[in-house]
Amino acid sequence: MKYFRLIWANLLRAKRRTFLTVFSIAIALFLFCTLRTVITSFEASLRASEATRLVVRHGASLVFPLPLAYRERLVQVPGVNGVSYGNWFGGFYQDPKNQFAQFAMDVPTMFDLFPELVMPADQVQAFRSERTAAIIGKALAKKYGWKLGDQVPIIGTIFPGEWRFVVRGIYEGKTKDVDENTLFFHWDYLNESLPEGRKNQVGIYWIRVASPDLAADVSRRVDAMFENSPQPTKTETEKAFQAGFISMIGNIQLLLTIIGSAIVFAIMLVTVNTMMMAARERTTEIAVLKTLGYSDGLILRLVAGEALLVSLLGGLLGCGLAALVFHESDFTASGFFPNFRVLPETIVAGLLLAVLMGILSGIVPAVTAARLEVASALRKVA
């Protein structure tokens, strides 16, 4: 600790250079935390999936609807003990920038299929009994300041027009992985407002099976049942559905990992160069310290300590900024990333990466300084 002042004084020697180095590391670590959070938010949505819940959608694509009449046939499939359905609404609040997920749901069955949405009984009742009622997640309520009884106008894009909902319930997730940024309203309200040609069509059916072991068998049965109909189905577990949904935008995890690694590697090279310059400029001073009796090992630790301190400062700044930005903004990217928040393990990983960057960027200048021959270094000056 008694050498900290020496390390700190050396860092402040070229304040602008130190600031720029810390700042560039901070940017790299901020991006790392952001990209990592994209991955963890995907993983969170997978974790929130119920193993006994299956998703039934159109066999060709998610954008094609299924007939409402399928519901009666799904209920009769052996092993199925619950069916609900809904439509992705795809609207925004006041401005296209204010996007979040909205679903028109079959309210009588939705709480049976989605027990992870926790809400007081009176609010459930109020929601059920009013056709224009909606429930919203706690995070969404906080973001827009909505309270029970508020009228919320949503501009539809898939279903054009202004749709007005009354907030009758605010739900919380049973676990932290459950998305609290969604608005649910009555499927009947949507259906009755549609022109005749678009009525009685369902985007997704959710079916519950008695045990996870039945999932594969029930999926096969359902798809076989509609195989030769005009609207064939594709049935899979909710987890597989989420994973498939994510995979529609490619191998996002690999892509993000490559981008993140490239950024960190590029910044590390810049840091190595900076630290080497900083050490080279101080050749005489290092020789003087050695003359005073500072050992090679101590010189190595002092120079490496500088690199480590710079990286750690950058890491703290970058990771801290990411945690702050994505906590305060309730960023959801139009509802695409529910639960987009920087996890503590992401911060820890970011700081460990900063330490690794510090060690790797400091090792060359530190070893060079430690190997410096005092007499020849002093001779060059004299």
Partner 1 sequence: MESRNGNLVELRNVHKVYFRDRIEVPVLQGIDLTIREGEFVALMGPSGSGKSTLLNLIAGIDSPTDGEVRVAGESLGTLKPGKLAAWRARHIGFIFQLYNLIPVLTAYQNVELPLLLTKLSAKERKKRVLKVLGLVGLEARAKHFPRQLSGGEEQRVAIARAIVADPTLLVADEPTGDLDAKNAAEILTLLQRLHAELEKTILMVTHDPHAAERAEKTLHLDKGVLQP
Residues lying near partner 1 in the complex (CB under 8 A) are found at 2-3, 5-6, 9-10, 12-13, 284-285, 288-298, 374-375, 378-379, 381-382
Nearer to partner 1, 254 or 292 (CB): 292
Asked whether the CA dihedral 151, 155, 160, 162 is positive or negative, the reply is: positive
Question: Is the CB of 148 or the CB of 378 nearer to partner 1?
Answer: 378
CB of 368 to partner 1, least distance (A): 16
Q: Return phi, psi of residue 373, to 5°.
A: -90, 120
Q: How near is the Cβ of 3 to partner 1 at its closest, in Å?
A: 6
Q: Rounded to the nearest whole angstrom, what is the least distance from the CB of residue 302 to partner 1 in the complex?
A: 11
Report, in Å, the least distance between residue 13 CB and partner 1: 5
HSE-up of residue 122 (Cα within 13 Å, Cβ side) = 1
In whole angstroms, the minimum distance from the beta carbon of 379 to partner 1 comes to: 8
3-state secondary structure of 332: coil
**Pick 2 or 16: Cβ nearer partner 1:** 2
Q: Pick the closer one to partner 1 by CB: 4 or 64.
A: 4
165's CB contacts (< 8 A; 6+ apart) are 132, 133, 134, 151, 152, 153, 154, 183, 185
Amino acid, single-letter form, for residue 24: S
Residue 195 vs 297, nearer CB to partner 1: 297
Nearer to partner 1, 112 or 281 (CB): 281
Query: In this structure, what token pair is assigned to residue 282?
Result: 């101080």
Question: Is residue 187 within 8 Å of 65, Cβ to Cβ?
Answer: no
> Of 48 and 300, which CB lies nearer to partner 1 in the complex structure?
300
Tokens of 12: 């402040």
39: left (phi over 0), alpha (psi -120 to 50) or beta: alpha
State how far the alpha carbon of 224 is from the alpha carbons of 59, 190, 218, 348, in Å. Answer: 11, 30, 10, 48
- Give me the least distance between CB of 176 and partner 1, in Å please: 47
Tokens of 11: 């860092």
The answer to whether 207 and 80 have CB atoms below 8 angstroms apart is yes
Task: Count CB-CB contacts under 10 A for residue 264.
Answer: 19
Tell me the C-alpha distance between 115 and 117, whole Å: 5
Buried b (16+ CB within 10 A) or exposed e, 313-344: bbbbbbbbbbbeebeeebbbeebbbbbbbbbe
For residue 281, the Cα-to-chain-centroid distance in whole angstroms is 43
Which amino acid, one-letter code, is at 350? Answer: G
Number of residues that make up the chain: 382
What is the SS3 assignment for 61?
Answer: coil
Q: How far is the CB of 357 from partner 1 (least distance, A)?
A: 24
Q: Which is nearer to partner 1, 295 or 329 (CB)?
A: 295
Q: In whole angstroms, how close is the CB of 315 to partner 1 at the nearest point?
A: 24
CB-nearer residue toward partner 1: 172 or 285: 285
Measured CA to CA, the distance from residue 322 to residue 319 in angstroms comes to: 5
Kindly tell me which of 360 and 378 has the beta carbon lying closer to partner 1: 378
Cβ at position 258, least distance to partner 1 in Å: 40
Kindly state the smallest distance separating residue 377's Cβ from partner 1, in Å.
9
